[in-house]
Structures are given as C-alpha cells and as structure tokens.
C-alpha cells in the first residue's frame, strides 16, 4: 500500500481544536500522512485567540518548498493565511510545481471575533488564490466578504456560490454552520461544470464547535488525497464533521474542540 501525503498550509492553534493541529489529526484519522507549513502561531484556547504571531514569509515559503521538493503531495489545503504577502507567495510557489488539488478554507475570523486574515488580504485571496482552487469552503460570513452580498436565503447561497465560481474556483461548498434559522446543518456544493447538490445532517445543539471549518476542510483534503472524486470527498467529509460534532469531547471551558476520533469509532461500530 502506498501512503498518500497531504499538505496543510495554515496557522497553529495552541488549543489543538482548529488550525494545523486539527488538520494533522484529521489526516491521521484518514490514514493520510500529514505534512505542514505554518503561517502563524496563535495563542489560543476554547475561550478565544489571545495572540497572533505571523511567520516571516520566507519561512512559510521554505516550509512549503521543503515538503513539495521531497514528497509526492496528493492534495494541499490552506487555512489561516493572515497576510497579502503570504497569500501571494503561496500562490506563485504552487504554480512552480505540477498541479496539486487545492482546497482553500478562506479563514478570516475566529469564533470569538478575532481576525485571522488582514482585511487588506481579501483582494489577494480573490485574485491570486481562488483562481487556482480545486474547491473553496467558505462559511456564510466569509462568502459574504468574498462576494460583497448579504446571504440569508437558500437562493442567496446559490447566487453567492456562482459568484465564487466566477472568481475562478473549480468548485465551492457553502458551509451552513452560521445559519441560525434552520434545524439542519445544510451545506451547498456547486462546481464549474454545473453540478450542484445540498448536503443535510441534523443540527447538533452544542457549543463545542471550535474548529469545525478546519476539520471539515481537512477531511475533504484527506479524502481527495486518497483518490475520492470531489463530490464523494465532500459527502464523506460531511460525515466526518457530523460525527466529530455529535460526539463532543467536552474539554475546555469555552467552545470546545470537535472529536477527531469519532468518525472512525462510528465506522468500527457499524462493522
């Protein structure tokens, strides 16, 4: 069996629920060998982000280059990118290598309201990174920033998805975790070939949702690295995050992390 390798380019969450830590835990659970390039260190726990310390751009580039020069990376994910400089450097670096499926989680603001992407960097993300994305995974507030439109209804979600595809992404999944008006966790997938579908799971009443977006995008990246089609990878990632939210770990005093072991536990129970 050949081990598949995935790369995450993201920030560190000292609390272990989001960022690089969530990505690597998720890759591990999927049997994918995780490699990483840190863009920033955050002092973070379940109560919030207490400090952000960006890595110098040459350090980010050196990490990505070290991984890509040595491993056959099957899928790459970006998370917290923090600045225009880091975004531009990563976009041009990735173009030096043979194309790798690229999952962009356009991380902007943490649950506690702290900024993980400088406002001025949004334009660089739209112009330089989204056009090379295999799939981008915005939550509703991120999709509002990327499209400049207010998103309330299902029709708004579909319209915003089209705008994001027109920015150059091959596919988009609009995550529904920020919709308070629904009893279901509804995510909408659309791609540049005209395929679209909605994935719905029961809404879990919990405050332990720290890192849901990172974990979902990491699972998607892991399944792509394993060779799943984009639509199958999205569907399986949805199962992964649903299990991780349902089987809460109840650690920390604020918004606790999701349970990265839960998907495999559930699979074992089913067999």
Ligand X SMILES: Nc1ncnc2c1ncn2[C@@H]1O[C@H](COP(=O)(O)OP(=O)(O)O)[C@@H](O)[C@H]1O
Ligand Y SMILES: Cc1ncc(COP(=O)(O)OP(=O)(O)O)c(N)n1
Residues 46, 209, 221, 258: which is the catalytic one? Answer: 209
Nearer residue to ligand X within complex by CB, 26 or 212: 212
Let me know if 221 is a catalytic residue. Answer: no
CB atoms within 10 A of CB 43: 14
Q: Going by C-beta distance under 8 Å and a sequence separation of 6 or more, which residues neighbour residue 79? A: 8, 9, 10, 11, 19, 20, 23, 39, 105, 107, 214, 217
Let me know if 175 is a catalytic residue. Answer: yes
| CB-CB contact of 57 with 29 (8 Å) | no
Rule CB under 6 A: which residues touch ligand Y?
10-13, 18-19, 42, 44, 79-80, 107, 110-111, 116, 210-214, 255
Nearer residue to ligand X within complex by CB, 170 or 178: 178
* Tokens linked to 91: 């976009």
Q: Residue 4 touches which of ligand X, ligand Y, none (CB < 5 to 8 A by kind)? A: none
Q: Which residue is nearest to ligand X (CB)?
A: 213
* Tokens linked to 44: 């973070």
Let me know if 212 is a catalytic residue. Answer: yes
Q: Residue 243 touches which of ligand X, ligand Y, none (CB < 5 to 8 A by kind)? A: none
Rounded to whole angstroms, the Cα distance separating 112 from 60 reads: 26
Question: Least distance to ligand Y from the beta carbon of 11, Å?
Answer: 3
Can residue 48 be called a binding residue for ligand X (CB under 6 A)? no
- Please give the distance of CA 191 from its chain centroid, rounded to a whole number: 17
Q: Choose, by CB under 6 A, the member of 176, 222, 256, 257 that binds ligand X.
A: 176
Let me know if 200 is a catalytic residue. Answer: no
Nearer residue to ligand Y within complex by CB, 48 or 196: 48
- In sequence order, the β-bridge partners of residue 172 are 136, 190
Comparing CA positions, the residue from 185, 157, 81 lying closest to residue 126 is 81
Residues taking part in catalysis: 175, 209, 211-214
């Amino acid at each position: 069996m050949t081990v598949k390798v995935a790369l995450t380019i993201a920030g560190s969450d000292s609390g272990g629920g989001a960022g690089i830590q969530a990505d690597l835990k998720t890759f591990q659970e999927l049997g994918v060998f995780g490699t990483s390039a840190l863009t920033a260190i955050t002092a973070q726990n379940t109560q919030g982000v207490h400090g952000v310390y960006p890595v110098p751009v040459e350090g980010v580039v050196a990490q990505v280059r070290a991984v890509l020069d040595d491993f056959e990376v099957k899928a790459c994910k970006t998370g917290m990118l923090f600045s225009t400089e880091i975004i531009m450097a990563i976009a041009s670096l990735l173009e030096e290598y043979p194309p790798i499926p690229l999952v962009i989680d356009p991380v902007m603001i943490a649950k506690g309201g702290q900024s993980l992407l400088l406002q001025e960097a949004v334009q660089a993300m739209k112009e330089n990174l989204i056009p090379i994305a295999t799939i981008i995974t915005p939550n509703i507030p991120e999709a509002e920033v990327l499209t400049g439109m207010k998103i309330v209804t299902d029709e708004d979600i579909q319209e915003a998805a089209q705008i994001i595809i027109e920015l150059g992404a091959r596919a988009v999944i609009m995550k529904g975790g920020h919709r308070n008006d629904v009893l279901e966790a509804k995510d909408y997938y659309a791609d540049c070939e005209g395929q679209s579908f909605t994935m719905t799971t029961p809404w879990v009443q919990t405050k332990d949702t720290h890192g849901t977006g990172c974990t979902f995008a990491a699972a998607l990246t892991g399944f792509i690295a394993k060779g799943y089609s984009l639509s199958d990878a999205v569907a399986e990632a949805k199962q992964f995050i649903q299990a991780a939210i349902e089987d809460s770990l109840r650690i920390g005093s604020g918004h606790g992390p999701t349970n990265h072991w839960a998907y495999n536990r559930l699979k074992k129970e089913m067999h």
